[in-house]
Amino acid sequence: MSGQCCEDLHNRLARVAFQAGRTLKESFRLSQLEAVVRMVEEHECDFVDALRKDLHKPRFETVVSELMLVKNEAFHATNNLKKWMQPQYVERNLSTSLDDCVVISEPLGVVFIMGTWCSPIQMCLGPLVGAIAAGNCAIISPSECTPHTSELLHRLLPFYLDNECFHVIIVSTNDLPEVVDLKYDHVFFTGNREEGRRIAQAAARTFTPVTLILGGKNPCYVDQHCDIATTAQRVAWARFHNAGQSLVAPDYVLCHRDVKVRLVQALKCCLVQFYGSDPRESCSLGRMVNLEIFNRTRDMLWRSGKVAVGGQAVEAEKYIAPTILTEVAESDPIMQQDIFGPILPILTVNSVDEAIAFINKQEKPLCVYAYSSNSKVISRLMSETSSGSFCSNDSVLQSLMVALPFGGVGASGVGSYHGHYSFDTFSHRKSCLLRSTRFECVTYLRYPPYEDRNLSLMTWASTLSQKSQGWCQIL
């Protein structure tokens, strides 16, 4: 059976299961969420081993940033599912005072979830938790760039989740638009902007709604007034976690000239503290996922700025040392493309105004980070820049909070997920007005022949009342 025929078969099987109402009951959704948790817990060692083979990812990073996040998503959904599924009653006017005006969250149907290689477990299973909670059937497609992790998900899911409602397919990135053409009720994609554009165009052909979590050059502003040692530790961890292969890592630093020397020195100390004198020998540092990403990252490194620390690259191991770049120009290649590697460019600015202007001149990023002990500086960065998320005096953590929505804006994405926001992403909020035919004392006013007196009464009955200030105006 050809690849596309197989994918079409999975789609049709899931569609039949959804139309039969298999996913609608709360008990079914809870059982599937509990199965996701069991799968992650019972096969923790297998997931750790798969990511070690694919990304040389340390066990600590796999557990904290992948498995723990998936379990937290599932626990949060389980704890709140009953409340999320309840109808929401809305404000009524006099003409509808005897009616029920409610919003019902109904599942969309069969959704397609495409993961990314830099977080291959949580970017497949995290959205899947939301799809399950909302009552959908789902087909997930792990990244072909992480073959061991993808094969593990392909093998494990049928043993834990309903085989008719949930499927795993492994599709080449180039073939994803053709798969989207098979018509789903929602497409959730995580990846780079170029691939996201192709997915969105394919989905538009069938009017399929999309959620796009895309990359972006996430700025990190370091103010004159901050704890440099703590800032360096938090920035270094965020940038070099998973060998820099992260959608939410700080992509570049903006700092004052008199801060740069101290910050670079503090970052050097952090790298020795984190990875030792030879990071290549460290068990805490990952590798590039493949030679394509390695070569692209190395080429940007060699053609940009001045290496202050690091810079070594070993092609046979797909290894690039944690690297700090200074004397970086805005026109350098490292500033023109998203960085998926262990490189941190540092640019200088003269003021917070210049930093804000620099950030706003770029495409809207997925994240903005600001380090300062001055609350006014933090407030300005938060309110005067636009990004998918914002975090002050730390990095990445806002993307790990299941109670906060995570997603992009503008060029960094469309839509969001996590917790209740995932439930909303995979739901249709249907407005419902439940009326009786018994009361015509107000309704009759809308019928012809139209009269001014009826218009006045209809307007009075249909207008929402104002709060206290309205009564003050009347009195």
- pLDDT at residue 472, rounded to an integer: 35
Q: What is the CA radius of gyration of the chain?
A: 26
CB 311 within 8 A of CB 304: no
In the prediction, which pLDDT does 173 show?
Answer: 75
- Residue 417: count other Cβ atoms within 10 Å of its Cβ: 26
In this prediction the pTM is 0.92
CA dist 167 and 250 (Å) reads 34
Give the pLDDT confidence score for residue 4 in this predicted structure: 58
Distance between CA 422 and CA 213 in Å, rounded?
13
Rounded CA separation 272/239 (Å): 15
pLDDT mean over 411-415: 94
What are the pLDDT digits (tens) for 416-444?
999 999 999 999 999 888 877 776 666 77
End-to-end CA distance of the chain: 77
Instruction: Classify domain 219-386 by CATH number.
Output: 3.40.309.10
Domain boundaries 3-215+417-428, CATH class? alpha beta
pLDDT at 86 over 50: yes
Q: Are 412 and 387 in contact (CB under 8 A)?
A: yes
CB 179 within 8 A of CB 4: yes
| pLDDT single digits (tens) 259-309 | 999 999 999 999 999 999 999 999 999 999 999 999 999 999 999 999 999
pLDDT at residue number 309: 95
8 Å CB contact between 238 and 384: no
> Between vectors from CA 366 to CA 361 and to CA 372, what angle results, nearest 5°?
75
**CA–CA distance, 187 with 195 (Å, rounded to integer):** 13
Task: Provide the strand spans (E) within 257-349.
Answer: 306-309, 313-314, 319-320, 323-326, 343-349
Q: What are the domain boundaries of the chain? A: 3-215+417-428, 219-386
Report the candidate in 416, 461, 423 with the shortest Cα–Cα distance to residue 98: 461
pLDDT digits 0-9 by tens, 445-465: 777 888 888 788 778 777 766
In this predicted structure, the answer to whether residue 468 has a pLDDT above a threshold of 50 is no
**CA of residue 139 relative to chain centroid, distance:** 18
Distances (CA, A) of 357 to 24, 339, 380, 382, 472: 49, 21, 12, 13, 45
Q: Supply the pLDDT for residue 452.
A: 83
- The full 3-state SS of 334-379, as one line of letters, equals HHCCCCCCCEEEEEEECCHHHHHHHHHHCCCCCEEEEECCCHHHHH
Flag whether pLDDT at 177 surpasses 80: no
Bridge-based pairing of strands 88-89 and 100-107 is: antiparallel
- pLDDT 10s digits, 190-217: 998 989 999 999 999 999 999 999 988 9
Both structure tokens of 251? 């992509």
Q: What is the DSSP letter of 389?
A: E
**Residue whose structure tokens are 């005072």:** 97
pLDDT for 1? 43
Q: What is the arithmetic mean of pLDDT over 122-135? A: 97
Q: Are 77 and 106 in contact (CB under 8 A)?
A: no
What confidence score (pLDDT) does residue 218 get? 97
